[in-house]
Amino acid sequence: MRIKTFQADTMQDALAQARAELGEDAVVLNSKHVKAGGVLGLGALTRVELMAAVDDVADQPQTPKTESIPHPIAVNSKAAATAYGGTVSAQPAAIAESESEIRQIRSDLRNLSEVVKKLLTYQPQSTETNQPLLVRLGVDDDIARGELSDLIDIDNSVELASALAGKMQAFVAPPLHSGRQVIAIVGPTGVGKTTTLAKLAAKFAIEQGKKTALVTADTYRIGAVEQLRTYARIMGLPLEIALSPDEVSAGVEKHSDKDIVLIDTVGRSQRSDEHLAELAAFIMAGAPTQTYLCVAASQSRAVQAEVIEKFAVLSPNKIAVTKIDESLDRGSLVNLPFRSGLPLVCSTMGQNVPHDIEFADAGTMAGLVTEVVQ
């Protein structure tokens, strides 16, 4: 690279010199105003000093001078740069070039900022929305892709409700069989056993006109007897209070003339084998024809699984899914019977006795799961 300094009265003249000597490819490295002539600074003239450079080419004369090179501005743009460090008057072409560069940089920055904004607000598409409708409704993935794989591609609730109803046929059962029924209600603490029993009693006794009696084996919890006594009084049903397995047996026998005897039991943790064994003694004494296991839909899948596993010692023959109103979805109505192998007998959806209960027919359950009125 050859670098040379030019002085002239005006920038145009300095540029002309630079072009003449270094050629059209020369670039301005620097320009400034300098004082020239005069005595002790008096009477000096202001001139423009321009430093320009050009790449070496074979046919151009060599100059020995070398200097470090600042950022260049092209000279061949007819007029020069607004000089580095200088106060040279504006040079339109060079300015236009740098302005267009700045515009380009600004536009790049704007684009970049858009990209950054998008990245910051980017949320990967929820995997939920990619899931089959059945799974979105709360049916466990393995059941949806296993036993219910025929329904996995159905993305229309109405269609799914009817297809699911078909599949649910084998997983629901009516509450009563023929003949006299002694039904024990079992389950973990607070899942709604007593409330469900009261709802069932109202359905059987008041709606179906069956002769019904109640026995409670829950004398453990303070207020438990009073809770059932209140329901019994309102419905006009007899209530026996059993403090021991023998008293359960006696209470059931006392009502041998009834169509239905409902036995309420104490809520016990599925984690206490000892309490479950004790409970088993009370239940066996009542010789129930049926035992309904209450499982709350509002409990986690893992807890539900444990309840099913541990309460198996009480030999339940049907499952009652409670508190579906407190659950995020109604998938339990499918998951629990499929997992336990026990048919669903009813589901409950609120505290209101006797209204918040549905007996489990396949269409109604499928309708509840899919939120389609059947």
Ligand X SMILES: Nc1nc2c(ncn2[C@@H]2O[C@H](COP(=O)(O)OP(=O)(O)OP(=O)(O)O)[C@@H](O)[C@H]2O)c(=O)[nH]1
Using CB under 5 A as the criterion, which residues of the chain lie in contact with Mg ion when the complex forms? 193-194
Is residue 186 within 8 Å of residue 279, measured between CB atoms?
yes
Closer to Mg ion by Cβ: residue 194 or 340:
194
Cα angle 82, 87, 93; round to 5? 20
Q: Which residue is nearest to Mg ion (CB)?
A: 194
In the complex, minimum distance from the CB of residue 210 to ligand X, in angstroms, rounded to a whole number: 21
Select from 49-57, 186-194, 269-277, 336-344 the region that touches ligand X (CB under 6 A): 186-194
Is residue 20 within 8 Å of residue 13, measured between CB atoms?
no
The one among 98, 169, 189, 244 contacting ligand X by CB under 6 A: 189
140 binds, among ligand X, Mg ion, none (CB under 5 to 8 A by kind): none
What string marks each residue from 228 to 267 as x (binds ligand X by CB under 6 A) or -? Answer: ---------------------------------------x
Q: How many residues touch ligand X (CB under 6 A)?
A: 21
The one among 31, 327, 340, 348 contacting ligand X by CB under 6 A: 348
The answer to the question of residue 349 lying near ligand X (CB under 6 A) is yes
Contacts of 174 (CB under 8 A, 6+ apart): 345, 359
CB-side neighbour CA atoms (13 Å) of 85: 12
Is residue 300 within 8 Å of residue 307, measured between CB atoms?
no
Closer to ligand X by Cβ: residue 49 or 356:
356
343 binds, among ligand X, Mg ion, none (CB under 5 to 8 A by kind): none
The answer to the question of residue 351 lying near ligand X (CB under 6 A) is yes
The answer to the question of residue 183 lying near ligand X (CB under 6 A) is no
Helix then strand then coil, % of the chain, to nearest 5: 45, 20, 40
Closest CA to 342 of 149, 164, 193, 186: 186
Is residue 264 within 8 Å of residue 298, measured between CB atoms?
no
In the complex, minimum distance from the CB of residue 191 to ligand X, in angstroms, rounded to a whole number: 5
Is residue 171 within 8 Å of residue 143, measured between CB atoms?
no
Pairing relationship of beta strands 212-216 and 73-74 according to DSSP bridges? unpaired
Cα(208)–Cα(355) distance, integer angstroms? 14
What string marks each residue from 114 to 143 as x (binds ligand X by CB under 6 A) or -? Answer: ------------------------------
Select from 28-36, 70-78, 252-260, 343-351 the region that touches ligand X (CB under 6 A): 343-351
Torsion of CA 194, 196, 202, 203, to 10 degrees: -160
Q: Which residue is nearest to ligand X (CB)?
A: 267
Q: What is the DSSP letter of 342?
A: P
In the complex, minimum distance from the CB of residue 267 to Mg ion, in angstroms, rounded to a whole number: 6
Select from 40-48, 101-109, 190-198, 234-242 the region that touches ligand X (CB under 6 A): 190-198
Binding site for ligand X (CB under 6 A): 187, 189-195, 218, 221, 224, 267, 322-323, 325-326, 348-351, 356
